[in-house]
Structure 1
Amino acid sequence: HYQKDIFTGIATVARTPINMKLFVVVLCVYFILPPSRETVTVAPLPTTRAPHTTRAPPVSTARAFTTTQRTPPQPESGCALAYDAQYGVGNPEEGYRFGTRNDSHIRYAKLPGRQLEGFDLTMTFRTFDQDGGLIFYAASDVDPNQFLAVFMKEAQLNFAFNCGGETGLVVSAATYNDAEWHTVTVVRNNGHGKLSVDSDRVGAETSVTCNAPAVLTAPIYYGGLSNITETIMQHLMGFYQPFKGCLKGLMMNGQYVTEIQKRVNSLRCTDNIEDGVYFGPSSNTHSNYLKLQENFKVGFEISISMEVKPRNSTGLLLSVHGKKDFMILELLENEVVANVENGRGPFHASYKLGNKFSLCDGKWHKIHAVKSRHVVSVGVDGHFSDAGLGVSGSTDTRSALYIGGNERPISKVRGVRSRRGFTGCIRNIIIKETPVKIPLTAAGRNTHIGVCPVD
C-alpha cells in the first residue's frame, strides 16, 4: 500500500516538467538502493565548542651527559710507547698522585662551611710508602699557631690541631700503606678531636682548650707544601714529606672543596705504574733532567750504568762538564754514543743498533759506559762496542752530573750531538758499582721521581 501512496504523491506533485524529473530520480534511488535494517541515531552537534588547549610535552628533569672518549696518544713512529700529555694534568675523579717532586701539592682558596665551633674534614687516600706524608695542612692568618694537619708518619695517621690553646693530637694504632683506598675523617668539636678511618673510630679521642678559635685561611695545602717554615715543622711534629701516593674526594662539612688556587706537580693516579724516574718530552731548547752530585769529577776511571725505557728514539742520557773536559752519553740515530774530552781532543765509542727503534720497544734496556784513562767503551744489554781511544788520562769535570737533559738548551751543551733530551723512564743508576739515591730535590722541570707509567 505504501507504493500506492508514493505514486499518488507523484501524480499530485509532478504537475510540471521540473517536478516530474525530480520525482523520477527519487524513485530510482528508492528502488535501486535496499532499505537499511539498522536504525542510526545521530547526536546533535553541541551548540558550544569546548576551548582547544595545547599541552607541552613533559620536560625531563634528568641531566644530559656528553661523554667524550679521549683519543689515545700516538707514539713516535717506530716506538711502542707514547707520551701521554694527560699524565701531568690529572683527574679529580680518579685522584691526583703526589710525592714525585718535593713541591708537589694543590693549594685551595677557601674551605666551605663554618669552622669556629667545629668541623669535619674527609679525604680518601692510598699509598704504599713506608711513611706516607702530608695529606692536609691549613693555618689561620690571624693566629698562625692555630692550625689543622693530617699526615702519615710510619704509615700511621696523625691528626693534629690547635684552636687557641694546647695542641691536640690523635694517632691511629694501625698502619694504612697497603696501596688500598681508605677514607679518613677528622672531627673537631670545640676542643674535642677524633679520627675515623673507613667509618671506624681509630686512636684515642683528644680534648684540649680552645681560646678564641680562628678561621683557617688560604693557602690551604693538599698533598704537600710549597715551602716549609719552622712553625709548620713544629705543627707536623718535626716530620715532613709530600704525600707519596694518591688523594681524592676532599670534603669539609659535607661539601667538596673545589676552589683550586694552584696545582703543582700533581699527576694522574693510574694503576699501571712501576719504579723509576719519568722524563716528559723535550726539545733542543727545553729539556727535563735530574741534577745529581754537584762538583762531579769523572777522573781517570769511571763506570756508569742505567736502565732505560725510551719513548723516543734519540736523546741525551748523561752529561758532565769541566772548563774544557766533558763526558757525554746519548742516544743517536742507530747508535748509543759515549763521547769524552780529556783536554786534548774528544774521542768516543759507538754501539751500533740493528734498528734505530730497537731501544724504543717498550722494554727496559741497560746502557753502560766505561772510561779508563784515555779509553772509553759503551754497552747495551751486556754487549759492548769497540773501544774509543784518546789522549791524556784524567777527565777533569766539576759541574753537576745531569741525567736525561740539562738546565741549558741542549744545542748549547758542549759535546752533545742530540737535538733533544730523553723522554721516557730511567732507573737503577749505578756509578762505580754504587747505586745512586735520587732525592726529590734533584728533579728539574717535567721530571718525576719514583713512579713511571707502564703504558
Structure 2
Amino acid sequence: GDMFNDGRWHHVEFKRHGNRGKLYVNGLLMGEKISEGDTQNLDVIPELFLGGIKQELREELPVQRNLMRVTTGFVGCLREFIHRRKRIGKWSKNNSNGVIACSDMVEQGSFFGSKGGHILVQPRYRVGMDFDINMDIKPRNISGILLAIQGRKDYLILQMIDGAIQFTADNGRGPIFSSFKPKTTFSLCDGKWHRIQAVKAKNVVTVSVDGIFSPAAIGVPGVSSTDTNHGLYIGGHPKKRRLRGLSTQHDYVGCMRNIVIESKPLEIEPEMTSGDISLNSCSLI
C-alpha cells in the first residue's frame, strides 16, 4: 500500500451516504464499502475526537472492536478540519493530553520541561537478577533523574550528576555504582543526541555513553537480586526526598526517545505522564 508518513501534507476525505461509505486520499478513491443490514442512520453521540480518544473509552470492548484494536493516538500534524462542508474553527486543544501546536521546528521524542515531570512505566516493578535499559537523550540541564526504581531496601537509579552519568544498584548490601564522566561538564548538553545504556548483571553494573563503557563495578558476591516493588519512573520521581541513592533533586530536562527496557521498546501513553512533559515532539528552538 501507499505510505503517507513522508513528511508531506495529505488530504483525507471520508463520505457517508446512507449505508455506503467512501474514503478518498489526495483526491483518489482508496476504498468503498456498504454496511450490512437495512439501517441508513448512525445512532452515535454527537462528539468528535481528533487524533485520539479518551482513556476511559479506549478500555471499552465495543470501542476496541470498532477501532479494530487500534487505540493509540495519531502522531503528527492535523489541519483544516471540515465537517459537513463547514470549517471547524478553534479546536479545543488539550495540552495535558500531549497536544501541542504544529511546527517544522520540532523533532521526534518526548520533551521534559523545566517545571519537572516523570513517566510511570509500571506501578510495581521487580528488577531481580538482571536489568538493561537504553535511551537516547538530548539534555538541557547537567543534572537530572533518568530512571528510578525503589524497594524497601534495594533500589536502582540512573542519573545525570553535574554532566556525568551514574548508574547505581543496591542489592541489599550497599550501593554498587558505575559512572561515566565526559570530557567536560557540558559535553552531553551540546545539542546532539547521546545514546545511554545501563546494564545490571547480578552483582555487576556498568553504564555506557555513545557506545563507550565506563569501568564495571562489582558488588558483594552471591548477593545478586535487586528486590524492588515500587514504580519504575523515567525522567523524575514524585517522592524525590525519600529516594535512596539520589545525588540530584532535579527531574530530567530535555528531549528523550528510543527508550528500550529489557529489549522491549517503550510505548509512552499520555496517562503514564505527570507534570511538564510533551509527548511525540521536541522543540528545536
Report the TM range for the smaller structure's normalisation: 0.7 to 0.9
Q: What amino acid maps onto 2:189 in structure 1? A: C
Q: Is 1:429–1:435's contact at 8 Å kept on the other side of the alignment?
A: no
- Aligned pair partner of 1:236 in 40, 48, 67: 67
The structure-2 alpha-carbon separation of the partners of 1:369 and 1:184, relative to structure 1 and needing over 3 Å to count, comes to closer
1:249 aligned partner: 80
Distance 2:80 2:209 in 1: 45
TM-score by length of 2: 0.78
Deviation per residue, 1:348-378 (Å, 9 max, x gap): 3333343221110011223333445544443
The structure-2 alpha-carbon separation of the partners of 1:261 and 1:219, relative to structure 1 and needing over 3 Å to count, comes to farther
CA positional deviation for 1:282: 3.8
CA positional deviation for 1:421: 1.4
The answer as to 2:241 corresponding to 1:404 is no
Q: What amino acid maps onto 2:103 in structure 1? A: T
Q: What amino acid maps onto 2:140 in structure 1? A: R
The structure-2 alpha-carbon separation of the partners of 1:448 and 1:290, relative to structure 1 and needing over 3 Å to count, comes to farther
Distance 1:209 1:259 in 2: 37
The answer as to 2:175 corresponding to 1:346 is yes
1:267 aligned partner: 100
Q: Is 2:132–2:197's contact at 8 Å kept on the other side of the alignment?
A: yes
Q: What's the secondary structure of 1:220's corresponding residue?
A: coil
The structure-2 alpha-carbon separation of the partners of 1:230 and 1:259, relative to structure 1 and needing over 3 Å to count, comes to farther
1:119 aligned partner: none
1:86 aligned partner: none
Deviation per residue, 1:319-341 (Å, 9 max, x gap): 11221011111111142222232
The answer as to 2:273 corresponding to 1:416 is no
Distance 2:93 2:112 in 1: 22
1:337 aligned partner: 166
The structure-2 alpha-carbon separation of the partners of 1:306 and 1:192, relative to structure 1 and needing over 3 Å to count, comes to closer
Q: What amino acid maps onto 1:362 in structure 2? A: G
Distance 1:175 1:377 in 2: 41
Distance 2:179 2:284 in 1: 29
Deviation per residue, 1:181-223 (Å, 9 max, x gap): 1222233344454333333444336477455x47864432111
Q: Which runs of 5+ in 2 are unaligned?
A: none
2:135 aligned partner: 306
Deviation per residue, 1:257-297 (Å, 9 max, x gap): 236456232123333554444333344xxx22251584231
Matches within 5 A, 1:28-427: 176-204=4-32, 206=34, 209-210=38-39, 213=41, 217-226=45-54, 227-228=57-58, 229-258=60-89, 260=91, 263=94, 264-283=97-116, 287-292=117-122, 294-299=124-129, 301-388=130-217, 390-391=219-220, 393-394=223-224, 395-406=226-237, 408-427=238-257
Q: What amino acid maps onto 2:78 in structure 1? A: L
TM-score by length of 1: 0.52
Q: Which runs of 5+ in 1 are unaligned?
A: 1-154, 156-173
Distance 1:424 1:436 in 2: 23
Distance 1:245 1:297 in 2: 35
Q: Is 2:139–2:189's contact at 8 Å kept on the other side of the alignment?
A: yes
CA positional deviation for 1:438: 1.1
The structure-2 alpha-carbon separation of the partners of 1:205 and 1:389, relative to structure 1 and needing over 3 Å to count, comes to closer
The structure-2 alpha-carbon separation of the partners of 1:415 and 1:281, relative to structure 1 and needing over 3 Å to count, comes to same
Deviation per residue, 1:231-275 (Å, 9 max, x gap): 333433554432233211111232222364562321233335544
Report % sequence identity: 33
Q: What's the secondary structure of 2:16's corresponding residue?
A: strand
Distance 1:326 1:275 in 2: 31
Q: Is 1:282–1:420's contact at 8 Å kept on the other side of the alignment?
A: no
Q: What amino acid maps onto 1:270 in structure 2? A: S
Distance 2:189 2:25 in 1: 44
CA RMSD of aligned residues (A): 3.3
Flag the structure with larger Rg: 1
The structure-2 alpha-carbon separation of the partners of 1:289 and 1:253, relative to structure 1 and needing over 3 Å to count, comes to same
The structure-2 alpha-carbon separation of the partners of 1:274 and 1:216, relative to structure 1 and needing over 3 Å to count, comes to same
Q: What amino acid maps onto 1:415 in structure 2? A: G
The structure-2 alpha-carbon separation of the partners of 1:389 and 1:189, relative to structure 1 and needing over 3 Å to count, comes to closer
Q: What's the secondary structure of 2:82's corresponding residue?
A: strand
Q: What's the secondary structure of 2:244's corresponding residue?
A: coil
Q: Which has the higher contact order (CA 8 A, sep 6+)?
A: 2
Q: What amino acid maps onto 1:291 in structure 2? A: V
The structure-2 alpha-carbon separation of the partners of 1:218 and 1:405, relative to structure 1 and needing over 3 Å to count, comes to farther
The structure-2 alpha-carbon separation of the partners of 1:452 and 1:293, relative to structure 1 and needing over 3 Å to count, comes to farther
CA positional deviation for 1:316: 0.4
Q: What's the secondary structure of 2:79's corresponding residue?
A: strand
CA positional deviation for 1:343: 1.8
